[in-house]
Amino acid sequence: MAIRVGLVSLGCSKNLVDSERMLYKLRKHGYKLVTEPGEADVAVVNTCGFIQSAKEEAIETIMELAALKADGTLKKIILTGCLTERYKEEAAELIEEADAVVGITDQRDIVDILDKVLAGERYVNFAPKMEAALTGKRIISTLPFFAYLKIAEGCSNCCSYCAIPQIRGRYRSVPMEDILNEARWMADNGVTEIVVIAQDTTRYGEDIYGESRLPELLRKLCAIEKLHWVRVLYCYPEKITDELISVIAEEEKMVPYLDIPIQHCDDDILKAMNRRSTEAQLRELMKKLRQRIPDITIRTTLITGFPGETKEQFNRLGDFVQDMQFDRLGCFAYSEEEGTKAALMEDQVEESVRQHRAEIIMQQQTDVSRAKNEAKVGKRLEAVIEGYDKYAGCYFGRTKADAPDIDGKIFIKSTNRLKLGQYITAEVFDIMDYDLLAEEVEA
């Protein structure tokens, strides 16, 4: 009987791609993949260690698996990913229930590692992070019609609050032909929506081509016949060029959507964060984007309570959010991460204040989002079907304005039998919080 392996992927979509590559290796080697750890002989956890809440989730998951192991349901536990890479010695020493504790590069050897622990060995290893694989075959674990396409590994921006460069190493672009080959393979296997990701997609190609090649890459992705939507996330504002804007405006398959993590608007805070934009530049960029791409959806993320953030600076951020009218917005309380420059800064803001300020921004954004959605009532939108809600008696999916996993849904009534991954036209007749209610109509 084949050994059953369950893989738990925590954190971001970039981590998910790594997990999908491990799944491919395990299946190819003859291990049986199961979706529930409680049904597995071996559990592999691809951890996240980006901020405090992610670390807590990882530890909670590991403890749940340790309980399964203690009662004999689970035989072995393998830990990998950002948390183990970041806390090498601590993870190996403190998590005694783990049969293997390895770094991100060791994921390439997941089959050998699993063989070792099944043979009774406790395995701890951390291969050089700069040797981590940039490409590899994978099993798509998302809905079958969309997939994430990771175009780079690591980060060289060195924002003062962020531990990613320490965890993942410097920025390394995937050669363009490798990316295009992977995208063509996806398209040949039923993927119609590709979501382009990296820690900073706008930096793509600088390390191997001497300049950003993101616009060129996106145009070539749009040329792949079977693809229907191409979406790009994690675009740093200072590197959104006129050329990139032109690609999004001109290419029919490019959804008019940009995810631009700006983090703050106050010039002094931005400088302390080691960000390279100013408030004036951010305002100008948003204005230009909306002029060039009138139907664009702009998503951003913000941090409140960064060290030294005064009440006046926070109020400036609130005014900025009100002025910019972002279509999508996530706001997070600053997380003090050891090993970062920001953690050593004076004037750390109290945790309760950080959280309260984030709540204020999100409440403010709720009103903006509601108004944005109300403006869509009566409009016809293209949507992709993600499933059927038997309790509500309708289909649900996403529009071009909604990225997978992070944005809202559109609930669709239809007299037709719709298929997963089908693109249809729907007319919005009402809203519900962050979601839309619509009815299928003829295109």
Least-confidence region, from 4-13, 54-63, 421-430: 54-63
The answer to whether the beta carbons of residues 148 and 13 sit under 8 Å apart is: yes
Give the Cα separation of 154 and 295 in Å (integer).
32
pTM for the model stands at 0.95
165-212 pLDDT, tens digit per residue, is 999 999 999 999 999 999 999 999 999 999 999 999 999 999 999 999
- Topology of domain 380-441, CATH: OB fold (Dihydrolipoamide Acetyltransferase, E2P) (2.40.50)
- What per-residue confidence (pLDDT) applies to 96? 85
Specify the amino acid at residue 182: E
* Alpha helical stretches, state H, 264-327: 267-272, 279-292, 311-324
- Topology of domain 146-374, CATH: pyruvate-formate lyase- activating enzyme (3.80.30)
238-253 pLDDT, tens digit per residue, is 999 999 999 999 999 9
Beta bridge partners of 7: 44
57-105 pLDDT, tens digit per residue, is 888 888 888 888 888 889 999 999 999 998 888 888 888 889 999 999 9
The H helix count followed by the E strand count for the chain is: 14, 19
Which of the pair, 54 or 134, is modelled with greater confidence? 134
Which CATH number is 4-131 given?
Answer: 3.40.50.12160
Percent of the chain with pLDDT over 70: 99
Task: State how beta strands 394-399 and 380-389 pair.
Answer: antiparallel
Give the Cα separation of 159 and 430 in Å (integer).
41
- What per-residue confidence (pLDDT) applies to 55? 77
Count other Cβ atoms within 10 Å, centred on residue 354. 22
* Alpha helical stretches, state H, 126-278: 164-168, 176-188, 206-209, 214-222, 242-250, 267-272
User: What CA dihedral angle connects 82, 7, 117 and 90, to 10 degrees?
Assistant: 30
The answer to whether the beta carbons of residues 437 and 430 sit under 8 Å apart is: yes
- What per-residue confidence (pLDDT) applies to 364? 94
Give the Cα separation of 19 and 288 in Å (integer).
38
What does residue 3 show for φ and ψ, rounded to 5 degrees? -65, 130
What does residue 210 show for φ and ψ, rounded to 5 degrees? 85, 0
What does residue 396 show for φ and ψ, rounded to 5 degrees? -140, 155
Domain coordinates of the chain in residue numbers? Answer: 4-131, 146-374, 380-441
Spatial neighbors of 409 by CB under 8 A, at least 6 apart, are: 386, 396, 397, 398, 402, 435, 436
Ordered strands of the 100-102 beta sheet: 32-34, 4-9, 42-47, 76-81, 100-102, 123-125
The answer to whether the beta carbons of residues 36 and 23 sit under 8 Å apart is: no
Query: Closest Cα to residue 421, out of 221, 149, 259, 189?
Result: 189
Residue 426 has pLDDT above 90, yes or no: yes
Give the Cα separation of 338 and 163 in Å (integer).
8
Give the Cα separation of 106 and 125 in Å (integer).
7
What does residue 345 show for φ and ψ, rounded to 5 degrees? -75, 150
320-366 pLDDT, tens digit per residue, is 999 999 999 999 999 999 889 999 999 999 999 999 999 999 999 99
Report the mean per-residue pLDDT for the chain.
Answer: 94
How much is the CA Rg of the chain, to the nearest whole Å?
22
Please tell me the total number of residues recorded for the chain in this structure.
443
The domains spanning 146-374 and 380-441 adopt the same CATH topology: no
Spatial neighbors of 144 by CB under 8 A, at least 6 apart, are: 190, 191, 420, 421
- What per-residue confidence (pLDDT) applies to 93? 83
- What per-residue confidence (pLDDT) applies to 90? 84
Cα angle, residue 167 at apex, residues 303 and 234 outer, rounded to 5°: 45
Count other Cβ atoms within 10 Å, centred on residue 211. 9
DSSP state of 263: B
Give the Cα separation of 163 and 423 in Å (integer).
39
Sign for the pseudo-dihedral over CA of 394, 371, 441, 419: negative
- What per-residue confidence (pLDDT) applies to 56? 83
- What per-residue confidence (pLDDT) applies to 197? 98
Percent of the chain with pLDDT over 90: 86
Give the Cα separation of 368 and 300 in Å (integer).
13
* C-alpha 22 chain-centroid distance: 18
- What per-residue confidence (pLDDT) applies to 313? 98
- What per-residue confidence (pLDDT) applies to 236? 96
